[in-house]
Amino acid sequence: MKHFLLKCAVLLFTAFPLFSQNIAREQGLVTDDPIWRQALGGSVLSLPSVQAQSAVVALDGGNIRAYSTAGKPMWSFTARGKISPYVTRSREGTSYLSRTNGIFIAVNRAGRELWRYTLDDPLCARVITGWDGRLFVPTEKKLYCFTASGTLLWSKILESPISIAPKLDKSGNIFLALKNGEILKIDPFCNTQVWRTSETPAVIISIDQKRILAFYKDGTMEEIGASQDWFISAQSGVQPLVLPRLQASPLAAVCRGDYIAVTMSDGRITVLSIEEKKIVWTGDTHIRETAKSGVVPETEAEMLYDERGIYVLSKNGASCFSSEGKRFWFTYLKNAASVPAFGDDGVLYSGGKDWILYAYKIEDRVLPEKNALFGPLPEGSYGMGRPHTFETSEIPLNEQERKIKLETIGKAVKEGKIGTNEP
């Protein structure tokens, strides 16, 4: 009995710090020291790019630096000039950046330049990597599409500057909004659908392979893309989705399955059900908590939504909620130079105004990696898609039928029976 009580006391003693820490996180009182910090030699320009056991940051000195998730410096690349505040990595670990004079540069996972291309203007948003590795590169009034090896596939002149940065939808295409109120959906071959809205949206998200949801500053929402017409008004369409009006202007939104999570300018998060067409729950983020102390309201936020829960990130801190609405934790950041990044390993990466990169272990839940070497595979697939100008081929799309067809052609080639009518 004595040994049993002693063992219980030891277990209680060792568990108490973890229990206390969890309570503190729920109350927003996390004061843990970072698990590591690294001097950067410059101020961070944008949120770190975290994937494949490493983090890459862009600095105002004109270079990008990579660190392992354990804090070990991996490599540094100097662009030899000022750079735009955006750095993106493909799932193979290639980093993409541009100088302010429009020179677009690809850097491999070892920090060596692969190729460069001179754009008309510098990047105005992060590069989007497509399902097959192709790159959608946005500048203020032009969109470029490259292969991963640097070959220009096409470019598209935009009628107005970009107001909402391009994003990848659930079918592998990209969508974006322009300052003139237009919403564009562009496929991998530059075929474009255009919808006109009555005003410029504040946020747009993809809710399935066909539909886009636009959020306006007054809290109203509008479904875009219900009709398959090539050029339609956003006010037309068949049985548009109608959702309740938000209580405040949206800052960011994300969709997962049937649910849409929105961070609002008043610091609250709200989750809506697409199927039930109603608000499921609303909660207070760290933005709401900091606003009570007179902190300047946030104008920028990022969101993540995965099997672990819903994450809200801003310069002032981060929050985490379960899908059912329980607030797991929230924490504050001081003197952050940009919005932080939250990794699959439960670590929050924040670049400070003091030129130091901090890594905070926030939670122990780790998102399972489907592939430890590469980053996550983008949604969608281009399949056997071809430009609309391409004539229909006699090569079947079904894999088994295609295999038989190719074997027949191969046999004909060996026998020398290729004729003028052979495709």
- Here the tokens at position 110 are 């070892």
Closest CA to 315 of 302, 306, 304, 327: 302
With b for 16 or more beta-carbon neighbours within 10 A and e for fewer, the 171-197 pattern comes to bbbbbbbbeebbbbbbbbbeeebebeb
DSSP string covering 5-37: HHHHHHHHHHHHHHHHHHHHHHTT---PPPSEE
- 359 sits in the region (left: phi over 0; alpha: psi -120 to 50; else beta) called beta
- DSSP element (H, E) containing 272: strand 268-273
Q: Enter the pTM of the model.
A: 0.78
Q: Terminal CA-to-CA distance of the chain, rounded, Å?
A: 86
Adjacent-strand bridge partners of 349: 341, 359
Confidence (pLDDT) at 383: 56
Q: Give 80-112 pLDDT, tens digit per residue.
A: 999 999 999 988 889 999 999 999 999 998 999
What confidence score (pLDDT) does residue 95 get? 94
Contact 156, 194 (CB under 8 A): no
- 390 Cβ neighbours under 8 A, 6+ residues apart: none
- Could you give the CA distance from residue 291 to residue 286 in angstroms, rounded to a whole number? 8
Give the C-alpha separation, 277 to 258, whole Å.
Answer: 10
Looking at residue 138, what is its pLDDT? 97
Spans of the chain below 50 pLDDT:
2, 4, 7-24, 29, 31, 227-238, 372-373, 384-392, 422-423
Q: Which two tokens stand for residue 118?
A: 């001179």
- Angstrom distance (rounded) from CA 261 to CA 265: 14
Do 65 and 40 contact (CB within 8 A), yes or no? yes
Sign of the C-alpha dihedral computed for residues 373, 304, 46 and 104 taken in this order: positive
What per-residue confidence (pLDDT) applies to 15?
39
**pLDDT value, residue 133:** 86
The whole-angstrom separation of Cα 300 and Cα 282 is: 19
Q: Which helix (H) or strand (E) holds 290?
A: helix 286-291
pLDDT in tens, 4-18: 455 444 444 433 333
Q: How many CA within 13 A on the CB side of residue 108?
A: 6
Q: How far apart are CA 135 and CA 149, in angstroms?
A: 10
Give the pLDDT of residue 367.
73
What pLDDT was estimated at residue 227?
45
Strand partners, 360: 348
Residue 364: exposure state from Cβ atoms within 10 A (0-12, 13-18, ≥19): exposed
